[in-house]
A and B are shown apart, each in its own frame.
Chain A
Amino acid sequence: MELRISRNFLQAKLTCWVVPVLLLSTWELAAQIGWLSSRILPEPLAVAKAAWSLSLSGELWTHLSVSLWRAVSSFMVGGSLGLLLGLLTGSFKRAETLLDTTLQMIRNIPALALIPMVILWFGIGESAKLFLVSLGVFFPIYLNTFHGIRSVDKGLIEMARSYGLNGWPLYRDVILPGALPSILVGVRFSLGLVWVLLIVAETIAAQSGIGYMTMNAREFLQTDVVLVGILLYALLGKLADVLSRLLERYFLCWHPGYR
């Protein structure tokens, strides 16, 4: 019985890789036969080779670390501002009346429509990218924090008040944990959005980063390097997703939906 379970498990693990492996080998085969021009799509082996040589020269790591730093710092800035303002407008009616309309208007401006202005304001240095990505990251976290605070079970708040909880203890023990599932949804959205925005920010104006590396390679028709860049984004995106899952698993261990 146990053997059968482990065999089924192994089978399931392997099955999900059948399609990717099949695609990859067809691709490789097509390139080998000459159906695919390397200008349109380089063979997988060439992509792997390009990645290898880029990492040997250290170029890959510099670009990767620059992009990673940009992503982390803008997520921190945009995310913490979103959290702060979301907590503020969610908790105080007056803050909502004062700020929410403005924020909703800004939210509806596509971050990318601001690029010309951003270049005028900040030039093409780090701050421009930081601004663009932070702005994009801000809203999912802001909205979900606001919504999370507002949708905390009123019955629980009433109960906690009747048990003598007020002010900070009420906030810490009831309101914040109640809003947390929603806040984490915002974090997850934002982590996905970071990479999308970063690609754009790095392709418009940069001297480093994965986006720059990809754009540069395009100029020289190095399609293999372009593909390395694209795959790196996919990998980093997946990494962000895994991270947000871990956060949920850790903070929502009480929640039957996350166990």
Chain B
Amino acid sequence: MQMNQTELECLAAAVPARRGIRVAISNLSKSYAERMVLQQTQLNLDAGEFVAVVGRSGCGKSTLLRLIAELEKADSGQITFADNHHRPETRIMFQDSRLLPWKRVLDNVALGLPKLNDAAAQALRQVGLEDRAAEWPAVLSGGQRQRVALARALVHDPELLLLDEPLGALDALTRIEMQQLIESLWRERGFTALLVTHDVQEAIALADRVVLIEDGRITFDERIELPRPRSRGHAAFAQLEERILARVLSRPDCKS
């Protein structure tokens, strides 16, 4: 806890204006055709916190994210944000990049902006793809497409960034590269981030807190105290990964 506190302070000093927003989720329930996907879920995200949700597939982690993004409606329960006066700027990154194939890279990044301005080009520069601005998405590699999707999300300067297994389809090297990019942009911008992943290592590498969902409930919530940037080769990292993985695997099947 101590280490995390100093680390947060350190971050706060580096970035004066943090964009993150507090999110409080209480008693959230959702079912599809009689099947309970989420049951009375409780989860709080601090402003600027990076939380990773892990779990087996079909355990409701993606549903939780879709409910927060208002892509779907909850059956019961509440999601509240720090100040309830406005709906916070929320952006999602999906597993597939979901770029519009008929728009050039730069226009994809500028989607939803009032008009094409410098912000889009700047966001593209931040993910290192400014020289591909005039290309069609079809010619980019999977990793590049996800970077464009990240730029598209960040150009709106979100207060809350939801990541729905955005790196799940990438190869191992590109993944690590993307994780570093996401981490550095998160530290720079200070938005609140919620990452859904099935990769425990990814969760530990990125998140302040790792949360496990089983059978639609949160059954495990652990703060990661490792200093950033986190090295995967570190003994403490490996220990933590093994412990969380064992916890995830301890229940042989998740009703799905």
In the complex, what residues of B have CB within 8 A of residue A177's CB? Answer: 100, 102
Question: Beyond A158-B71, A163-B91, A254-B136, is A173–B101 a contact (Cβ under 8 Å)?
Answer: no
* A159 interface residue (CB < 8 Å to B): yes
The answer to whether B112 and A163 have CB atoms under 8 Å apart is yes
Which residue on chain B has the smallest CB distance to residue A165? B112
Instruction: Out of A158, A173, A180, name the residue touching B111 (CB < 8 Å).
Output: A173
Instruction: Out of B91, B96, B139, name the residue touching A155 (CB < 8 Å).
Output: B96
The answer to whether A155 and B98 have CB atoms under 8 Å apart is yes
The answer to whether A255 and B112 have CB atoms under 8 Å apart is no
The answer to whether A163 and B111 have CB atoms under 8 Å apart is yes
In the complex, what residues of A have CB within 8 A of residue B161's CB? Answer: none
Minimal beta-carbon separation of A30 from chain B (angstroms)? 52
* A34 interface residue (CB < 8 Å to B): no
Interface of B is mostly: loop
Bound: A156/B137 CA distance, A: 14
The answer to whether B102 and A160 have CB atoms under 8 Å apart is no
* A174 interface residue (CB < 8 Å to B): yes
* B94 interface residue (CB < 8 Å to A): yes
Instruction: Out of B69, B92, B138, name the residue touching A255 (CB < 8 Å).
Output: B138
Bound: A173/B94 CA distance, A: 19
Which residue on chain A has the smallest CB distance to residue B137? A254
* A256 interface residue (CB < 8 Å to B): yes
In the complex, what residues of A have CB within 8 A of residue B100's CB? Answer: 156, 160, 173-174, 177
* A162 interface residue (CB < 8 Å to B): yes
* B217 interface residue (CB < 8 Å to A): no
Chain A residues 82-114 with CB under 8 Å of chain B are none
The answer to whether A159 and B138 have CB atoms under 8 Å apart is no
Bound: A160/B103 CA distance, A: 13
* A20 interface residue (CB < 8 Å to B): no
In the complex, what residues of B have CB within 8 A of residue A174's CB? Answer: 100
Chain B residues 19-34 with CB under 8 Å of chain A are none
Instruction: Out of A156, A178, A256, name the residue touching B98 (CB < 8 Å).
Output: A156
The answer to whether A162 and B101 have CB atoms under 8 Å apart is no
Which residue on chain A has the smallest CB distance to residue B104? A254
The answer to whether A162 and B92 have CB atoms under 8 Å apart is yes
Minimal beta-carbon separation of A32 from chain B (angstroms)? 56
The answer to whether A159 and B98 have CB atoms under 8 Å apart is yes
Query: By CB atoms of chain A within 10 A, which of B104, B111, B138, B152 has the most?
Result: B111
Minimal beta-carbon separation of B94 from chain A (angstroms)? 7
Question: Beyond A173-B103, A254-B101, is A162–B138 a contact (Cβ under 8 Å)?
Answer: no
* A164 interface residue (CB < 8 Å to B): yes
In the complex, what residues of A have CB within 8 A of residue B69's CB? Answer: 162
The answer to whether B111 and A254 have CB atoms under 8 Å apart is no
Minimal beta-carbon separation of A139 from chain B (angstroms)? 26
The answer to whether B112 and A164 have CB atoms under 8 Å apart is yes
Taken residue by residue from 177 to 211, chain A's Cβ proximity to chain B (1 for < 8 Å, 0 otherwise) reads as: 11010000000000000000000000000000000
**Chain B interface residues (CB < 8 Å from chain A):** 69-71, 90-92, 94, 96, 98, 100-104, 111-112, 136, 138-139, 152, 156
List 17 A-B residue pairs with CB atoms under 8 Å apart, sorted by A's residue number. A155-B96, A155-B98, A156-B100, A158-B71, A158-B98, A159-B98, A160-B111, A162-B69, A162-B90, A162-B92, A163-B112, A173-B100, A174-B100, A253-B136, A255-B101, A255-B102, A256-B139
Q: Please name 6 further chain A to chain B contacts, defined as beta carbons within 8 Å, in addition to the given A160-B100, A165-B111, sorted by A numbering.
A: A162-B90, A162-B91, A163-B112, A163-B152, A165-B112, A254-B103
